[in-house]
Structure 1
Amino acid sequence: MISKIEIADVATYPAAGERLTDLKKVNYLFGHNGCGKTTISRAIHDPSICTGYTVNWRDGRELATLVFNRDFADASFGDQMQGIFTLGEDSTEQWRRSSALRPRLLDQIAT
């Protein structure tokens, strides 16, 4: 279980840093847009991506984390094609690649 999260000099957080303590097994974060919710979720998901993140685990035992944030949604869901809904990072990437190839295919069909 996470016991403490510290974030400093990242996004909306000051260089002096902010600290979340007294965390429970399940924690719900809410707030206005731009107040730092996604930054906290990124720290939990992968604290190694930024030196401003520190995540402390109770008894030093790191557990698997599940983070549902904008990054997850962008990587996993795609609804750009009307009537089509794709799920999963691989599906979204395949759709992007096929969309990029579509103009060339249409051009070849027309000639």
Structure 2
Amino acid sequence: ALEAVVFATDWKAQAEQGGFYQAKALGLYEKAGLDVTLRGGGPGVNIPQLLGAGAIDFGMGSNSFIPLNMVRAGVPAKAVMAAFQKDPQVLITHPRDDISTLA
């Protein structure tokens, strides 16, 4: 029997999550003994809350502070994978001539 698991992404289906959906379409999860349900995220979806409540088994997070904050709050969590070699997040500000460094 396949082990049922629920995986929630942190946003609606998009290219950066394509591998998870492609693996489902190709039957790769089933070959590994898993019956995976993929749930798309969005602006009202709180991955840490869903994980903490046991509503999902795995959740995608947009930054490395999510599991750290969960553990600090007493919610058992563990980061198991990095989806990117480098963090795609950036620091953005308004253009100003008096800003030339972060220091």
Which interval holds the TM-score relative to the shorter structure?
Answer: under 0.3
TM value normalised by structure 2? 0.23
The structure whose Rg is larger is 1
Higher helix proportion, which one?
1
